[in-house]
Structure 1
Amino acid sequence: DWRPNPYLPGTRGELAVPIKLREEVLGILDVQSDRVGALTDEDRLLLEGLCGQIAIAMESQRLLDNVQQSERLMRTLIDAIPDHIYAKDLEGRLILANSAEARLHGVDSPDLLIGKSDFDFYPPELAERYRASELPVLHDGLSLLNHEEPNVDATGQLHWSTTTKVPLRNQEGRIVGLVGSTRDITERKQTEQALSEEHTRLRTLIDNLPVSVYIKDRDSRFVVNNAVHLRILGAASQEEVSGKWDFDYFPPELAEQYYADEQELMRIGQPLFNREESVVDQSSGQQHWALSTKVPLRDAHGQVTGFLGFTQDITERKLAEEAVRRSQADLSQALQIARLAYWEYDVAQDLFHFNDQFYAIFHTTAEQQGGYHLSSAQYAQRFVYPDDLPVVGAE
């Protein structure tokens, strides 16, 4: 029923139909006429049908807007990721690529990559290798995870990357392509290579040192042993020794002593220099003498994580010292038996060295004279006749 409306003075008839999708009202379709009775029930039915079409169109537009928003979000996301993101069809042609992938191939926009394959960018042998790695993904649905492989950029520079490729499926679950991500690990590989070369150099160095070199962890277990130390332990390889400790190689009393010294060294964090130790050569079973130096190793936070040890075999030196000691003892005994006096003069220190027989000749003792060592002035004063002083002084 028409009623006058001061805001619509020219309107004599009006139909307002809600635009609904299911139970949601999306809007209202309002039709006005300047004639009374011009809008009928047939017009209402027609408008209701039209509103249904409008509702479907509005929903489609809303869905399209949502899809476009999702696409913009996805594009922003994948372009912000430094890794190379891409998708390929069953023939290996690109159907999606991010900005990082575009930069790799030297183009300004990812759109310029669409429809191209690896054969458009890489040498044939490299493209064939990439294609071969993708076939199990495309044909059998087998994911390729964190696969390391070489790569070449637009300038021909070789890079290393780790790649993951997974099947891309449609709504029916059928494989229609693949999605891949590739991360450049060139710096990591270069670092690993540098570390490997440094390790090789250090290993070559310590294996050619004539002393034992070893590293132990906080529990005094072996981490690194050079060739000399492996031989002493009777081991053929580093793998045979790693994780073991002195209790696996030496008598318990020696191993206990080594362990206690090493744990105390790591507890106080102070090095141990030139300590004489008794060791057993496991390859021969013979006892040796060694001079050991052990220095704590620390991590980036200053915490002691183990220690570095150097052990030099001094058995020959100890045997030589013992031989000299025995020789001196034998000489002293022989002089006593023969009742011969013995003396030496150290020019650099201006010291005379006498034995007991020398003092006995003068009816005195070393104790009475203050020891076995006298300066030339003391010697002259006590044992040289005054008349002989000029001659002795000249000599």
Structure 2
Amino acid sequence: MPNPQYRANDDGYFGEFGGAELPPFLVEPIAEVRDAYAEARQDPTFMGEYERLLRTYVGRPSLLYFAENLTAKLGGAKVYLKREDLNHTGAHKINHCLGEALLAKRMGKTKLIAETGAGQHGVALATAAALTGLECEIHMGAIDVAKQHPNVVRMELLGAKVVAVEEGGRSLKEAVDSAFATYAAKYHEYFFAIGSVVGPHPYPSMVRDFQSIIGREARAQILEAEGRLPNALVAAVGGGSNAMGLFDAFLNDREVEIFGVEPAGEGLEGTRHAATMTLGTPGTLHGMKTIVLQDEQGEPSPVHSIASGLDYPGVGPQHSHLKTLGRVTYVSVDDNETLDAFSTLSRTEGIIPALESSHAIAYTCKLAPTLSSDDIVIANLSGRGDKDVDFVAERLAARRS
């Protein structure tokens, strides 16, 4: 169990970050979720069903794979990949979507509603809805609808209604706003299934709890494979669910360095990035106090990442707290480094990673050569790249021209 300093208090605050900063019309529905989850997580029947589905439906445990070819290419530390891309639906998102769907049924809800950026959360939630017999509505920025068309098709095939959001920047932040507005009007029938460790209490803790299976497995697997803990962990951070899933089981182990990798986009010197932890300041976003990329009036700034799932001006409040404590180091890689990492992993290991995961691979490619051959790095491969191949092919062709 992680040290209590890494956990939220009863009001959902991780140090100064978190809480439930809500308009009056959302206080009651979010409190209902908080109370239901507090009860469900103590219920062996609920948790037993959740864990059974992780084994029999998701296909857990996911592999911890020694990337021998990548290790040889980079030199330095041994590189292991936590293969969340091998989960049913192709990413880590299914871990918390199943938990949220089961909780919705327990609460007597009939519909799931959510936002999505890259589409992996939407696909996973539509899958969980089909499995549990619930309806599903996914709000997605219009830019991402076009960019992630294969995932839109998957969601619709699974029975979900996809709502393209045309307001504002037409990306993930606007999708969250749109989904929250619909939920507030219909919360008696809807359950809001937030797709990361963001939003008002209890979502940052609840989603982390459902994702923590990643780190628990990785810890046991590396001890079995190497007889010791890794020297470093690396994971991409947008909202931060895959990262918190991996990091959580290692927070007490001070000898393990932990790196969260943000999108530097087209460069930190301009505005075309989503490097929240690098350049953001404390603020309030989507019901939580956290670090936010924002203007002088406190309005969220437009953001950019080549990876739709990282295209968000905030971050989970636990990440903000871990930065403040100095327990996690937050770094960034740009779009070109991400594309290079995408190609490198594909050609050295025969594994096509999601662009989100490619941020973690890009930093791993920098980190591993600085370490010794006796050192170990675990990188979280949070999703597969099927959804990104056409877009990446276009970008690589444009770079060559």
Q: What is the TM-score when the length of structure 1 is the normalising length?
A: 0.16
Q: Which structure has the highest helix share of the two?
A: 2
Q: Which has the larger radius of gyration?
A: 1
Q: What is the TM-score when the length of structure 2 is the normalising length?
A: 0.16
Q: Which structure has the highest strand share of the two?
A: 1
Greater RCO (Cα-Cα under 8 Å, separation 6 or more): 2
